[in-house]
Amino acid sequence: MKGWPLYEVFIRPRNGVAHRHVGSLHAPDPEMALELARDLYCRRGEGTSIWVVPASAITASRPEDKDAFFEPLEKEYRHPSHYNIPPDVKNM
Amino acid sequence: MYTQGLDLVPKGEKPEAPKSEEEARLEAAFQRKIDEEIRIEPTDWMPEGYRRTLIRQISQHAHSEIVGMLPEGNWVTRAPTLRRKAILLAKIQDEAGHGLYLYSACETLGVTREELYEQLLAGKAKYSSIFNYPTLTWADIGIIGWLVDGAAIMNQVPLQRCSYGPYARAMIRICKEESFHQRQGYELCLALAEGSPEQRRMLQDALNRWWWPVLMMFGPPDKDSWHTAQSMKWKIKRFTNDELRQKFVDAVVPQAERLGLKIPDPHLKWNPERGHYDFGEVPWDEFWRVIKGDGPCNRQRMEQRRRAWEEGRWVREAALAYAEKRRRRQQSEAA
């Protein structure tokens, strides 16, 4: 919509789990974004809490830097499977 | 409600230009990802053709949802009971929701909502041929839920595994909701099938009018579908138009029998060798006529969409002015 900024919508389906990105919508202001998010993404009890965030407020990593940005070095020793424990050692 | 396997190339679109070495390398890496079932996300590199095909398909799909509200809207005030009225309203609201999920998915490809809307309102964009048919009786509402939404589900279930992440995710939400649409439609048909002789006649008449247009929803036959091979390679599409059409016929014939209805096709017959129903030739001339703008309701649908857009203009502008006023007030209070 002309001049209606884009909001990203996050919903917590129930208490005890994290808010999760579900999609986006256009709205004139944050309050209406919340109401529209309820109508658009919670028509069947999908949520108990909604966050709306102006899409322009999000800083994202660049996909072309993916490898260098996320895995600068092989660091297998950070994973439990890197370590050899004799099979007779229990509860490890 | 659904995307038609239209695969129509807009006039004037040029074939791909020769690729540079770098482009060829990127494209090979892209195809490897697709082959390994790794989803493509909005900021990932993608070939221009892939982007264009998706924008075309997702926007046609979104437009179909939005225009699809009109034939059903025709019956809101005339639903026979309060329960049926509430169901119909909820279904229409879902269609609006589906359109909005899809417009959002389409926007991630770098096209704006206004552009998409302008294309529809200017009559430049395609939408599913099925919504250019009138809803003449209450039985049509049942047939739409059962068959039109049933065909939509057949089409959309494989799209949940589409290679483009945002489209696939929108389809997952849509498919969940679509099941309600189909079931309420069949239940409505069942009520008429178990009703008076007049109600049964009304139901059969609705099936007679909708049967062929519903089979057209899967798009032109594979031999005339220009983009199928490329779309399959890119995993935008997982089945061809004819495969889906056959699957649909096989699924709904027993459902029609259960309702005591006769499918209006003298060539419809179970083929034990193929393990499928054989069926007659879809009237493709009619399909192309409707797609090109000359169906029974094309003009009316576009007129209604344009009017809704124009008459809603002041609301959109007022909401924005109010938001701006509040923002200023908050600023001056903070100062």
Which tens digit of pLDDT belongs to each residue from A24-48? 999 999 999 999 999 999 999 999 9
Q: Among A22, A28, A63, select the one facing B323 at the smallest CB separation.
A: A28
pLDDT in tens, A5-14: 999 999 999 9
Average pLDDT over every residue of B16-34:
86
B327: chain A residues, CB-CB within 8 Å: 29
- Residue B113 confidence (pLDDT) above 80: yes
Quick one: average pLDDT of B289-299?
93
* Chain B residue with minimum CA distance to A25: B104
Decide if B95 contacts B69 (C-beta within 8 A). yes
| pLDDT value of position B14 | 53
Query: Nearest CA of chain A to the CA of B64: how many Å?
Result: 18
- Nearest in space to B51 (alpha carbons), one of A26, B174, B224, B59: B59
Helices (H), chain B: 21-35, 48-67, 69-73, 82-107, 113-121, 138-143, 149-156, 165-193, 197-216, 228-233, 241-258, 284-289, 298-311, 313-334
Establish if A67 touches chain B: CB-CB under 8 angstroms: no
Nearest-by-Cβ selection for B114 from A2, A25, A32 = A2
The answer to whether A58 faces chain B, any CB pair under 8 Å, is no
Cβ contacts of A63 on chain B, cutoff 8 Å: 41, 43-45
Which residue is closest to B177 within chain A, CA to CA? Answer: A44
Please tell me which of the candidates B97, B170, B319 has its beta carbon nearest to residue A28: B319
Q: Report pLDDT for B11.
A: 47
Report pLDDT for B128: 94
Give tens-digit pLDDT for B120-173. Answer: 999 899 999 999 999 999 999 999 999 999 999 999 999 999 999 999 999 999
- Judging contacts by C-beta atoms under 8 Å, the chain A residues touching residue B115 are none
Q: How many CB atoms lie within 10 A of CB B62?
A: 28
- Please judge whether B104 and A64 are an interchain contact, meaning their C-beta atoms are less than 8 angstroms apart: no
A60 touches chain B (CB under 8 A): yes
Residue B21 CA, chain-centre distance (Å), reads: 38
Distance from CA of A9 to the nearest CA of B (A): 11
The contacts of residue B261 (CB under 8 Å, 6+ apart) are B193, B203, B204, B207
Angle at B98 between CA A33 and CA A44, to 5 degrees: 70
Binary contact (A32, B323; C-beta < 8 A)? yes
**Dihedral pair phi/psi, residue B20, rounded to 5°:** -75, 170
- Chain A residues 17-46 within an 8 A CB cutoff of chain B: 22-26, 28-29, 32, 39-40, 43-44
Residue A71 pLDDT greater than 80, yes or no: no
Q: Who among A32, A39, A63 is closest to B319 (CB)?
A: A32
Q: Whole-model pTM?
A: 0.90
**Nearest chain B residue to A37, by CA:** B97
What residue in B sits closest to A63 (Cα-Cα)? B44
pLDDT score of A2 more than 70: no
Which pLDDT score, from 0 to 100, does residue A76 have? 85
Average pLDDT in chain B: 92
Q: Cα(A33)–Cα(A35) distance, rounded to whole angstroms?
A: 6
Residues 6 or more apart whose Cβ sits within 8 Å of residue B44 = A63, B30
Q: pLDDT tens digits for B229-238? A: 889 999 998 8
Please list every residue in chain B whose beta carbon sits closer than 8 Å to the beta carbon of residue A29. Answer: 319, 322-323, 326-327
Written as six digits, the tokens of B206 are: 């609705």
pLDDT tens digits along B215-269: 999 999 988 877 778 899 999 988 999 999 999 999 999 999 999 999 999 999 9
Choose between B158 and A67: higher pLDDT.
Answer: B158
Is some CB atom of chain B closer than 8 A to the CB atom of A80? no
User: In a mutagenesis test of the A interface, which of B92, B106, B316, B329 is the best target, namely the one with the most A β-carbons within 10 Å?
Assistant: B316
Reported ipTM: the value is 0.84
Q: What pLDDT, on a 0 to 100 scale, did the predictor assign at position B1?
A: 46
pLDDT for the residue B187: 98
A63/B319 CB distance under 8 A: no
Domains by residue range for chain A, with CATH = 6-71 (3.10.20.520)
Chain A neighbors of B93, CB-CB under 8 A: 39, 43
Question: B203: which 2 tokens?
Answer: 């139901």
Q: Does A57 touch chain B (CB under 8 A)?
A: no
For chain B, what's the residue count?
335
Q: Indicate yes or no: CB of B43 within 8 angstroms of CB of A40.
A: no
B43, B93, B316 ranked by CB distance to A1: nearest: B316
Instruction: Express each pLDDT in B165-207 by its tens digit.
Output: 999 999 999 999 999 999 999 999 999 999 999 999 999 999 9
pLDDT above 80 for A4: yes
Share of chain B above pLDDT 70, in %: 94
